[in-house]
Amino acid sequence: MLSFAPLQALAVPRGQKVIVVTFGGGARDEETFAPEGQENIPCLMNELIPRSTFFTQVVNRGILGHYVATASLATGVYESFDNFAMVPPSNPTVFEYYRKGLHRPATDAWVVAPSNGFNRMGASDSKLYGPSQGAGVILPKHLLAAALKQEDAGGYTHLLRDNYETPFYTPQISGNPFQLAQLEQVLRVSVVDFVAHARNLASPDELSVFVVKQLMKQLAPSLLWVTLHDMDIAHSGAYSLYMEGIRRTDRLCGELWKTAEAEPEYAGRTTMFILPDFGRDADGDPGGNGFQHHRTGDALSRTTWMMVLGPHVRENVSVNRPVQSLDLVPTLGGLLGFTPTMARGQALTEVL
Amino acid sequence: MLPSQLRTDQFREYPPAGRQLAVSNLSLLRQLTLIYLASLLREMIRYDWKFPAERGQIDRQLAWLASLDPQELHSLFAGFAQIRLDRKLEDTDWVKMPDDFSERLTAYLWSTHQIDALRSAATEFTERASRATPAPSPAQARLGIVVIGRSVEQSSFPLFRKLRPYGVHFTRVDPTDGLEMLLHAVAARASARPIPYDHWYIEGSTPVAAPPHVSISSYDQLQPVRSRLLDRMQQVIDSGSGGPELLEVTMATIDPQQLGMKGEGRDGVLDHFDVSLLTQGQGTQIFSTTFVMWAAREALRRAEPVTLMARFTPRQRLRPMNELMQSRSHDVEPDPQGSLLDADMAAYYIWLDQQRLADSAQASFLVWFEGHNEALAIAPGLPRGTESASPGNLQQILEWIS
């Protein structure tokens, strides 16, 4: 059945593939688009921004925890659950609106995310929608740990240390995780090949991008959400590792766009949104410790940017009016043709 | 329970000096809003282990609050009073466990979108308190010294970029005996004014000297404590109860003796400080660069020293995923180049922290790339945003900025 998924995807009118990339977790303007930060993002600066409409002020007024903030991006409502609790969003997600509104199959919406906590972000607990209308969620690192465990009973739990906000705390996964057995069925990768490939990758985000590419090849979903997270190593206080994470994320964004341009199912019909989930604390705020955390809720930690690329999107355009991170879902609704009834925010007409 | 219902016996588990402080200010405490009071109790419960500067700050603030009439107090705390609290929060034992209350409060305020209201109320209160109870001027102008880049033979990284606008970038520094000169300057200042906790030396590895009257905090010397702490953290995690919040509260209440810091002649205040670096600073347990950055920040914020020298040494390298998969060895090599970048940013943060203290306009600051010709100095008498190619050594630079 699954092998026919690309044909199903072809039923969607042309120009309606969407990839959302969260450039996370947590990047400050200072290390990205501010003049002193631009050297860290050569790919975004030189290759992608000239082809994009760029929103220079995207404000996030919600909770600045990665899972809850990313879930808020996906629901279009500022979710208010405990960031460290493994609960689904309270409001319908973009995946549910999309699948239910357009009668799309389960194979047409996917989330690829780094951390156990994101396991529940594919669907809300809304009675009108819920998991049967949600996205498939793949946590590549979790998958890798399971594969390694199968290969060797030894402990690779350190690979799961992905929650940099509480670096020693690795919660047990709950919900309905993507199973190891589905690797071959869905991604068409054997466990052995998956592990072998992972052995050549330097970071969890690289593994996520590998999984995304496989999904694009095998299922060609029309709505694909990838959450990058390497740079959240900033919580450890090592500035060089945070910068390394930003540079890697920059490169991976470029790779994703190139893949979208090269894959027949995506070429010429894909709109890609790239945005941080939020920023990090300002150097000058005595309540924080600069880049290390995102605890103060100051303006720098709440204000980021968004880049939109696609065949119908105006190139090399900057939008300087402030917009909200909640505007993403209504914009996706306008683009894909569904109505996000419970989402707040406004569709961004500049890219519709 | 509400603040107005406070009783003397509720402080019986506080350490002696903290208990005495709370009891003698009971009538004032009963008039405070819960949010502010709980944050004050977090300080009082640790009062016995606080530095003189911190104690002075608390004492001044209490005296000021006690001098206000009820209407003035009401006006002062109006911002806090407008924040809606959950009944469950009020019912927690916030007297006995103010840290637990604080954790719950923060989570609650984020989830009810009131964190900005707290931030605004706290900022306003802090500004008014600072105006009303200014910190005393230091006995001598402050001097901050940061040493970065140990073990780096060559680097093309442009150092001190964030600090250059504020001082002079020296490019022909003679590095001979540089470390000794800096330590000598610290020792001389401590010897001239031997006030407890006024002079600090924070070291990323093992201290190269132990000058009298200088408080020393060292990453390597705390290695046994770090190991015991990581074991305790693992126990909490393995217990499967609670979550990150429980872990944070458990960490915040660990006593130095529980981590093996026992014996005659120990400095309890310094021991508590060291433990707090490891329990409340993220990354301090695993990266020496983060330890030094956080220790310097906390020493400046809490002890308000007049002399602080922080020396960064290479932290362990973060192993990439593929390497972790191929080897389970715990042996890790250092990362001098990455540590140089970490320390360069940290030096900027240390300067910012020093600038937050009283009489910052008189303070001096020096950062040196250890073993190399580059340094940057900031001082009242030095020009800003300039570069000097004049030859000289660190002793001379110290004389210029002192």
Mapped to the 3 state alphabet, what secondary structure does chain B carry?
Answer: CCHHHCCHHHHCCCCHHHHHHHHHCHHHHCCCCHHHHHHHHHHHCCHHHCCHHHHHHHHHHHHHHHHCCHHHHHHHCHHHHCCCCCHHHHHCCCCCCHHHHHHHHHHHHHHCCCHHHHHHHHHHHHHHHHHHCCCCCCCCCCEEEEEECCCCCCCCCCCCCCCHHHCEEECCEECCCHHHHHHHHHHHHHHHCCCCCCEEEEECCCCCCCCCCCEEEECCCCHHHHHHHHHHHHHHHHHCCCCHHHHHHHHHCCCHHHHCCCCCCCCHHHHHHHHHHHHHCCCCCCCHHHHHHHHHHHHHHHHCCCEEEEECCCCECCCCHHHHHHCCCCCCCECHHHHHHHHHHHHHHHHHHHHCCCCHHHCEEEEEECCCCCEEEECCCCCCCEEECCCEEHHHHHHHHC
**Residue-wise pLDDT tens digits, B23-57:** 999 999 999 999 999 999 999 999 999 999 999 99
The reply to whether A12 falls in a domain is no
Give the count of domains, chain A: 1
Average pLDDT, chain B: 93
Across the A:B interface, residue pairs with CB atoms under 8 Å apart total 132
Asked whether the beta carbons of A147 and A182 are under 8 A apart, the reply is no
How far B347 CA lies from chain A's nearest CA (Å)? 12
Q: Is the peptide bond before B371 cis (omega within 30 degrees of 0)?
A: no
How far B395 CA lies from chain A's nearest CA (Å)? 30
**Residue-wise pLDDT tens digits, A124-138:** 999 999 999 999 999
Length of chain A measured in residues: 352
The reply to whether A259 falls in a domain is yes
Bridge-based pairing state of the strands B168-170 and B386-388? parallel
Instruction: Please identify among residues 310-329 of chain B the ones whose CB lies closer than 8 Å to any CB of chain A.
Output: 315, 318, 320-322, 324-326, 328
The reply to whether A107 falls in a domain is yes
pLDDT for A345: 95
B243 in A contact zone (CB under 8 Å): yes
- From the list A83, A283, A296, the residue facing B349 with the nearest CB is A283
The DSSP call for residue A275 is E
Query: A286 and B283: CB-CB below 8 Å?
Result: no
**Residue-wise pLDDT tens digits, A77-117:** 999 887 777 789 999 999 999 999 999 999 999 999 987 67
**Residue-wise pLDDT tens digits, A161-177:** 544 555 444 445 544 45
ipTM of this complex: 0.92
Compute the Cα dihedral for B64, B66, B71, B74 and give only its sign.
positive
* Domain containing residue A263: CATH number: 3.40.720.10
The confidence band for A7, taking pLDDT boundaries of 50, 70 and 90, is very low
The reply to whether A1 falls in a domain is no
The confidence band for B265, taking pLDDT boundaries of 50, 70 and 90, is confident
The reply to whether A101 falls in a domain is yes
Q: Which chain A residues are Cβ-neighbours of B328 within 8 angstroms?
A: 154-155
pLDDT for B318: 87
Average pLDDT, chain A: 88
Question: Stretch A13-42: mean pLDDT, rounded?
Answer: 90
How far B9 CA lies from chain A's nearest CA (Å)? 33
Please give the residue that has the higher pLDDT: either A297 or B248: A297
Q: Which residues on neighbouring strands pair with residue B311, listed in sequence order?
A: B147, B203
What the block records as the tokens of A37 is 């930060």
Distance CA A118, CA B55 (A): 44
How many other CB atoms are there within 10 angstroms of residue B198's CB atom?
Answer: 25
Question: A331: domain range?
Answer: 19-351
The reply to whether A6 falls in a domain is no
At residue A4, does pLDDT exceed 50? Answer: no
At residue A330, does pLDDT exceed 90? Answer: yes
Q: Which of A169, A229, A232 to mutate to test the interface with B (most CBs of B within 10 A)?
A: A169
Bridge-based pairing state of the strands B215-218 and A223-228? unpaired
Question: Stretch A243-258: mean pLDDT, rounded?
Answer: 98
